[in-house]
Chain A
Amino acid sequence: GAGVSQSPSNKVTEKGKDVELRCDPISGHTALYWYRQRLGQGLEFLIYFQGNSAPDKSGLPSDRFSAERTGESVSTLTIQRTQQEDSAVYLCASSSPRQANTEAFFGQGTRLTVV
């Protein structure tokens, strides 16, 4: 596609429910990142996929959070048993680190509201 696509754009869910957020990276980009941004705050790293390497999950805040990526394409971030503190914008980005020093391209994010 022309850019990184995230869906849904907005999601309102009840506390305790599970949610799935989707990210379609730019075709050919081997690296994919998930970040969380709470209102008025900076970007908090969650997870990083790079090609066939084991993902860097060091940023996932709890075992309620998990993410998968199918090859070098779509990724899904799953939050189980959502809590109000999970309310944030979840941003996905992709890049092509096969080329040295490349920029990351961001999607428009999914705004998650847990009520």
Chain B
Amino acid sequence: SQQGEEDPQALSIQEGENATMNCSYKTSINNLQWYRQNSGRGLVHLILIRSNEREKHSGRLRVTLDTSKKSSSLLITASRAADTASYFCATPRGGSQGNLIFGKGTKLSVKP
């Protein structure tokens, strides 16, 4: 079964709007990561948040982590057409190590 599950599956917004994507997971973890994928090829790491962190920022990205609810959110502020991509969350299978388990992703479309 999937360790991480993103929602929504698809999101369509206008340029300049904010995009929020959510991820839920099942087991205890020591970190959660978000990745971006363009055009069905290699994924690019965006941000990693540790279990003792509640919020983290990187440029226009803001990630939150709620370990009590086993959930995380990724917020992209002031979206641009170039943000159009699929976004995945990933967690270590064993909680702290081992292979990364990815969710099914959120497909974001930002319209100019």
Contact = CB atoms under 8 A, between A and B. Distances in A.
Interface stretch (A66-74, A78-86, A104-112): A104-112
B42 A48 contact: no
A89 interface: yes
Interface stretch (B11-19, B59-67, B76-84, B92-100): B92-100
Given A42-B105, A101-B30, A101-B50, A106 B43 contact: yes
B98 A48 contact: yes
Contact of A42 (B98, B99, B103): B103
A14 interface: no
Interface residues of A, number: 25
A39 to B, nearest CB: 7
A103 B2 CA distance: 19
Interface string B29-53: 0110101000011111100101000
A37 B40 CA distance: 8
B40 A107 contact: no
A106 B13 CA distance: 28
Given A103-B33, A103-B48, A108 B41 contact: yes
A12 to B, nearest CB: 17
Interface string A35-79: 101010111010010100000100100000000000000000000
B102 interface: yes
Interface of B: 2, 30-31, 33, 35, 40-45, 48, 50, 88, 90, 93, 97-105
10 contacts: A35-B102, A39-B40, A42-B102, A42-B105, A43-B43, A45-B99, A48-B99, A50-B98, A103-B48, A108-B42
Interface of A: 4, 33, 35, 37, 39, 41-43, 45, 48, 50, 56, 59, 89, 91, 93, 97, 101, 103-109
Ranked nearest first, the 6 interchain pairs of A and B with the lowest CB-CB distance are A42-B104, A48-B99, A103-B45, A106-B42, A43-B102, A108-B42
